[in-house]
Structure 1
Amino acid sequence: MSTAKPSPSSPSSPSSSPSSTSYDARFRVWRGDAGGGDLEDFKVEVNEGEVVLDIIHRLQATQTPDLAVRWNCKAGKCGSCSAEINGRPRLMCMTRMSVFSRDDVITVTPLRAFPVVRDLVTDVGFNYKKAREVPAFVPPEGLGPGEYRMQQADVDRSQEFRKCIECFLCQDTCHVVRDHEENKTAFAGPRFLMRVAELDMHPLDAAAEHGLDRKKNAQDEHGLGYCNITKCCTEVCPEGIKITDNALIPLKERAVDRKYDPLVWLGNKIRRRGEQ
């Protein structure tokens, strides 16, 4: 018995499957520099399995060779290709075209919280400045490299925060930074408050023995009080780090305990009196 081959118009034919054919998508891409700019409209081919960064590269190759875009690994691990896609901070290399309808107009703009250099490239130097302001890990006295010993639970807690790829999407979406330029001098942002929280949780960090109170440092130097835990930073994190629940809220709780708990206050007062 012979089996009939599917006709070209048959639904089972790969050539007629909508998901396997290319189509023209409508893109609006911001073009300009620090002096100003505007959105430009493009029609560009999209193929199955592609991501937004593929389309931006195709635009560079076929229509706008001078389009500026920052990228590196194209694997969601370097954080370079951060942008805002339809208003949401995302990695272009991790945003699949399949999440959009073929009728959608896809808008790609630079990160709004930071100054534009050109087109989709922004100056994220603010973040590196804040990184340098966070006091580093203080190793415990008497232990050399390779001699540190920690409980696995403590390792796991810190390891979550170490997954950060420095994409700065959390910094971009945080309205304290995004909507209030004047806050930048006093507020480190979620990425670096998370770093302070990680160090404060570290069982081997000896900062306190050297006179550094990380909770007070977070409050006084890095603007912990500005954060009102809206969880927008957690929502855009491509690594799925629970920035708000596992870093910022616990750090806030410990800072409040240190500053307002009456027993802690009394203990500190007695300790200071005994040192006189």
Structure 2
Amino acid sequence: MGYKAKFRVWRGDAGKGELKDYTVEVNEGEVVLDVIHRLQATEAPDLAVRWNCKAGKCGSCSAEVNGRPRLMCMTRMSTFEENETVTVTPMRTFPVIRDLVTDVSYNYQKAREVPSFDGGDVKPGEFRMQQVDVERSQEFRKCIECFLCNNTCHVIRDHEENKEHFAGPRFLMRVAELEMHPADVADRRQIAQEEFGLGFCNITKCCTEVCPEHIKITDNALIPMKERVVGRRYDPLVWLGSKIGIVKRDKTKETPKA
């Protein structure tokens, strides 16, 4: 059975905007995105919102619902009280284009900066992996690039000056995925620290908390990556061995998943 819900939605563009109040019908089983679509159909046909699959797999409908970064298509109206005002605002960390749509090009720029997979001289079909090695990085492939983790990361959100030097949890996770892959021969520890700003991360786990795919970004990617960087830079035997070329890395034995 339906009811009338109070919605407060941010309206505006890059110049200025404000929260506007609406009363919209809600039916059983609906999600926030359903209500936003009904609002477009009834009261605000010019409301801008980005969406695609409506199944929690494209990452397009990222926004902040009652101040928490969420996918609108995965946020059920049943989680709110019927008399509760639901506030929907654009992701706070990225510049607003219009209404609920933000400019996330920062993330695509960082994606292009990550060196691609390097398989060395091994030909296709020659490399063999244990299942445990596959699983170490497979978790990270579930990422739908909703960018909620980068949005909630205070290093990006609260410190504009860091954006140039910090890739954010999504792309530090990508670096970690490649670094942990036993078939990838590149050493990504130095660029993680010096080019992508791994040292800025203070492992508050806010990125993990908002991930709709429940990826353990902090525990399984960022912390192990920090351990590898520390091992390379501060373990005197590892440092010396790498300098004179007598230490050969075995990625399969380094910092297993939590």
CA distance in 2, matches of 1:270, 1:187: 31
Deviations 1:21-69 (A, max 9, x none): 1110000000000001000000000000000000000000000000000
Deviations 1:91-150 (A, max 9, x none): 000000000011111000000010000000000000000000000000131312x44321
- Whether 1:140 and 2:120 are equivalent positions in the alignment is yes
- Whether 1:201 and 2:180 are equivalent positions in the alignment is yes
- Whether 1:237 and 2:211 are equivalent positions in the alignment is yes
CA distance in 1, matches of 2:245, 2:129: 29
Instruction: Return closer, same or farther for 1:159/1:142 CA change in 2, 3 Å cut-off.
Output: closer
CA distance in 1, matches of 2:177, 2:122: 22
- Whether 1:65 and 2:54 are equivalent positions in the alignment is no
CA distance in 2, matches of 1:158, 1:142: 19
Alignment of 1:181-196 (within 5 A): 181-196=160-175
Secondary structure of 1:28's partner? strand
CA distance in 2, matches of 1:130, 1:148: 29
Alignment of 1:7-22 (within 5 A): 21-22=1-2
- Whether 1:52 and 2:52 are equivalent positions in the alignment is no
CA distance in 2, matches of 1:147, 1:172: 40
In structure 1, the partner of 2:59 is: 79
The amino acid that maps onto 1:244 is T
- Whether 1:151 and 2:130 are equivalent positions in the alignment is yes
The amino acid that maps onto 2:189 is K
In structure 1, the partner of 2:221 is: 247
Secondary structure of 1:266's partner? helix
Asked which structure has the greater CA Rg, the reply is 1
CA distance in 2, matches of 1:259, 1:51: 48
In structure 2, the partner of 1:227 is: 201
In structure 1, the partner of 2:236 is: 262
Secondary structure of 1:40's partner? strand
In structure 2, the partner of 1:124 is: 104
- The offset of 1:265, in angstroms, is 2.4
The amino acid that maps onto 1:164 is C
Consecutive unaligned residues in structure 1, runs of 5 or more? 1-20, 208-212
In structure 1, the partner of 2:145 is: 166
CA distance in 2, matches of 1:135, 1:268: 21
Residue among 38, 59, 74 paired with 1:94: 74
CA distance in 2, matches of 1:54, 1:87: 19
CA distance in 2, matches of 1:154, 1:269: 27
The amino acid that maps onto 1:222 is F
- The offset of 1:264, in angstroms, is 1.4
Secondary structure of 2:48's partner? coil
Q: Runs of at least 4 residues of structure 1 off by over 6 A? A: none
In structure 2, the partner of 1:7 is: none
- The offset of 1:270, in angstroms, is 3.9
- The offset of 1:269, in angstroms, is 4.1
Figure out how many residues of one structure are paired with residues of the other and give that number.
Answer: 246
CA distance in 1, matches of 2:55, 2:204: 29
Q: Between the two proteins, what is the percent identity of the paired residues?
A: 76
In structure 2, the partner of 1:8 is: none
CA distance in 1, matches of 2:178, 2:136: 11
Consecutive unaligned residues in structure 2, runs of 5 or more? 247-258
So what's the TM-score if we normalise by structure 2? 0.93
Deviations 1:214-234 (A, max 9, x none): 000100000000000000000
